[in-house]
């Protein structure tokens, strides 16, 4: 990470051109799609936006790579583009994938709808139980996909074991690090081969852009870039500019979000109107030990079940005044939602219950407001329930 600097310093300075074009301190948006070429250039060296090779893109890639200690990175048009392109670049027809059993809805849906037609098979495993993984492995297993913190019960698998298991068996380990963000967890240093993000969330951080990225070693990223160049999922220049801008404040934002989530989790845990709180920073969380060993912070996401059931959950969500009632996450404003009617609404009720997404579960994505204001707000809202 930017030589020996702290992450907060790296977030500001990683990948920056000093000086930038025409002496600029802020790297400009090159809105142009194409740049003058020189005779003899290889096709993928031509500076063309869809080939992910323009100056603004190369700058952003350097910045992203450095923030997670990767040799290379590529920005994509969305988090789903990052997930699907990473898989498409690694998996071949006939290959088998091992994946975590709680995946982002879009990722689970992609596997459900496309794995078979691409000739892939896959087996879902519990990332917190390494003893169950070997039974899932076949001679054609190519990759192991997990998420650093799952949604919405914020479980943290045995991530270092996933990376070790993959290395031992020659599998490509891929982690969706969206929920933890590079501030709290560094997947490549833990042994993962590829880290993917929905940059729409913490990396952008302001709920005003859709983007993704894949970070890793030169060879794998070159494969991802080659795949992306055919599928065409490049990140628009303006969104790329907003993402680079957001990255500079990543450390201060996520640290404030970690603090707010910890303060709310502690408050909920001690409140008689709350039956259950899920936050990996609480010693009561089943994965606290693992999270504390791997992560430098526990993230800005938590979930809870009010004691009064689904009606209390509805009243709670509608009685808070600061958080917006909305899905998505990672922005500077606090968001609150009931996953059963938003992110997990497409699942049949029995399946939702089976993975712990009960109708009374409330998920909070902490923003960077003052903890005191958030605490006062949730306190008055719980009194209404």
Ligand X SMILES: *Cc1c(COP(=O)(O)O)cnc(C)c1O
Active site residue 30: no
- What burial class does residue 317 get, using C-beta atoms within 10 Å of its C-beta: 0-12 exposed, 13-18 middle, 19+ buried? buried
Cβ closer to ligand X: 27 or 104?
104
Is 176 tagged catalytic? yes
Instruction: Give the shortest CB-225-to-ligand X separation in angstroms.
Output: 18
Do 187 and 216 meet the contact criterion of CB atoms below 8 Å apart?
no
In 10 A of CB 63, how many CB atoms? Answer: 23
Would you say 201 or 314 has its CB closer to ligand X? Answer: 201
Residue with smaller CB distance to ligand X, 149 or 381: 149
What is the CA angle 62-212-80, rounded to 5?
150
- By beta-carbon proximity to ligand X, the closer residue of 235 and 362 is 235
Q: Which residues, 6+ apart, have CB-to-CB distance to 87 below 8 Å? A: 97, 110, 143, 145, 174
Binding residues for ligand X, rule: CB under 6 A, are 78-80, 83, 104, 106, 147, 176, 178-179, 198, 200-201, 210, 212
User: Is 50 assigned a catalytic role?
Assistant: yes
> Residue 8 is encoded by which pair of tokens?
């907060």
Copy the structure tokens of residue 177.
């690090």
Catalytic residue selected from 30, 104, 122, 202: 104
Residue with smaller CB distance to ligand X, 200 or 334: 200
Active site residue 43: no
User: Of 155, 158, 201, 248, which is the active-site residue?
Assistant: 201
**CB neighbour list of residue 81: distance below 8 Å, 6 or more residues apart:** 212, 228, 231, 233
> Is 207 strand, coil or helix?
coil
CB 98 within 8 A of CB 136: yes
Closest-CA residue to 355 (of 144, 100, 110): 100
Ranked by CB distance to ligand X, the top (closest) residue is 79
State the nearest-atom distance from the C-beta of 209 to ligand X, in Å: 9
| Cα–Cα distance measured from residue 39 to residue 223, given in angstroms and rounded to the nearest whole number | 25
* Strand 194-198 to 172-176 pairing: parallel
What's the CA gap between 75 and 50, in Å, rounded? 11
CB of 84 to ligand X, least distance (A): 9
176, 193, 287, 360: the catalytic one is 176
Give the shortest CB-361-to-ligand X separation in angstroms.
16
Cβ atoms 132, 124 nearer than 8 A: no
Please say which residue, 60 or 80, places its beta carbon nearer to ligand X. Answer: 80
- Positions marked active-site: 50, 104, 176, 201
């Amino acid at each position: 990470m930017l030589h020996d600097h702290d992450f907060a310093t790296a977030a500001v300075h990683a990948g920056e051109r000093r000086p930038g074009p025409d002496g600029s301190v802020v790297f400009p948006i090159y809105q142009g799609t194409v740049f003058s070429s020189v005779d003899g250039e290889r096709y993928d060296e031509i500076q063309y936006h869809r080939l992910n090779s323009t100056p603004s893109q190369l700058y952003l890639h350097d910045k992203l790579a450095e923030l997670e200690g990767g040799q290379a990175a590529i920005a994509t048009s969305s988090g789903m583009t990052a997930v699907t392109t990473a898989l498409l670049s690694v998996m071949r027809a006939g290959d088998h994938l091992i994946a975590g059993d709680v995946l982002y809805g879009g990722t689970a849906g992609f596997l459900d709808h496309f794995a078979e037609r691409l000739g892939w098979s896959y087996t879902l495993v519990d990332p917190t139980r390494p003893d169950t993984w070997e039974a899932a492995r076949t001679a054609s297993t190519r990759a192991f996909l997990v998420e650093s913190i799952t949604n919405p019960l914020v479980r943290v698998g045995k991530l270092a074991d996933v990376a070790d298991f993959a290395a031992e068996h020659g599998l490509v380990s891929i982690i969706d690090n969206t929920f933890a963000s590079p501030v709290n967890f560094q997947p490549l240093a833990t042994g993962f081969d590829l880290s993917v993000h929905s940059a729409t969330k913490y990396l952008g951080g302001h709920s005003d852009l859709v983007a993704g990225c894949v970070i890793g070693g030169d060879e794998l990223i070159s494969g991802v870039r080659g795949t992306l160049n055919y599928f065409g999922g490049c990140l628009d220049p303006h969104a790329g500019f907003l993402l680079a801008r957001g990255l500079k404040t990543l450390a201060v934002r996520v640290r404030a979000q970690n603090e707010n989530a910890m303060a709310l989790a502690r408050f909920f845990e001690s409140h008689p109107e709350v039956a259950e709180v899920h936050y990996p920073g609480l010693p009561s969380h089943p994965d606290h030990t693992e999270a504390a060993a791997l992560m430098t912070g526990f993230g800005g996401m938590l979930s809870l079940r009010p004691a009064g059931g689904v009606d209390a959950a509805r009243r709670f969500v509608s009685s808070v005044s600061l958080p917006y009632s909305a899905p998505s996450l990672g922005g500077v404003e606090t968001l609150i939602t009931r996953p059963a009617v938003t992110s997990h609404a497409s699942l049949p009720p029995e399946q939702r219950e089976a993975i712990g997404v009960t109708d009374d579960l409330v998920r909070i994505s902490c923003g960077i407001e003052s903890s005191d204001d958030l605490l006062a707000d949730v306190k008055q809202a719980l009194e209404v329930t």
